[in-house]
Amino acid sequence: MSLYYVQKFLYELNRSEQVQAAFRADATATVESFVSEGADLSEEEVAALVMPDIGKLFHLGCNGQILMHFAAFHQIEWQDYLQRMRDGIDEHGPVREGVYAMTGYEGTDAHSTALGQNSAVGQQNTNGDR
């Protein structure tokens, strides 16, 4: 398993119209080509990229700043994108690694509780707006 290469693939896709065109034409072949060039991706990671499984990718540790563009590429609307990540945590468990695992990411409720314990007076979180 390599979070680095999962994110590297998305980084390349986000930057390159050529990679985007190839991915639209044949997602599996595009990811497999990336693997054949040396990227260390597990079957789980390949499947999540090809599907695409936004919730699984977030669970694996993908940075949202990379993942949100992958969602937009797939025409996934913003609120749907956020919900897919929440569903991914519910289904697969806390984020495994990466920046969100720094202090353990176990979902929005747990995070809100943690934030409340850290003098977060006045925090804003409007369900309809997020």
Partner 1 sequence: MPLVFAGVCSHAPGITGRADQADPVVRDGFYAAFEQMRHDLETTKPDAVVIVAAEHFANFFMNNMPSFAIGMADFYDGPIEDPDWLAIDKFRAPGSRDISTRLIAEVMETADVSYCEEWKFDHGIAVPLHFLTPNFDLPVIPVNINCQGPPLTPLARAWNFGEALRRACDAVPERIAIVGTGGISHWPATPDSGKINEAWDRDFLDRWCRNDRDDLLDYTDESVYADAGQGGFEIRTFLTVAAAAQGAIGTVHFCEPIPIFAVSCTIATYDLAG
Query: What part of residues 10-49 is at the interface with partner 1 (CB under 8 A)?
Result: 11, 14-15
CB of 94 to partner 1, least distance (A): 12
Residues 93 and 110: their CA atoms lie apart, in Å, by 12
State which of residues 2, 26, 78, 113 lies at the interface with partner 1 (CB under 8 A): 78
Considering the complex, state which of residue 14 and residue 42 has its C-beta at the smaller distance from partner 1: 14
Residue 97 CB neighbour total at 10 angstroms: 12
Whether the CA torsion 93, 98, 101, 106 is positive or negative: it is negative
Shortest distance (Å) from residue 91 CB to partner 1? 13
Q: Which stretch binds partner 1 (CB under 8 A): 21-29, 31-39, 43-51, 115-123?
A: 115-123
Residue 89 binds to partner 1 (criterion: CB under 8 A)? yes
- Would you count residue 58 as binding partner 1 (CB under 8 A)? yes
Long-range interactions of 98-106: CB distance < 8 A, separation 24+: 98/3, 98/60, 98/61, 98/62, 98/63, 99/61, 99/63, 100/61, 100/63, 101/61
* Smallest separation, CB 104 to partner 1 (Å): 11
CA distance 115 to 109: 10
Residue bearing tokens 């390349």: 12
Q: What does the block give as tokens for 20?
A: 């985007």
Which residues of the chain form contacts with partner 1 (CB under 8 A)?
A: 4, 7-8, 11, 14-15, 58, 63-69, 72-73, 78, 82, 85-86, 89, 99-100, 102-103, 107-108, 111-112, 114-115, 118-126, 129-130
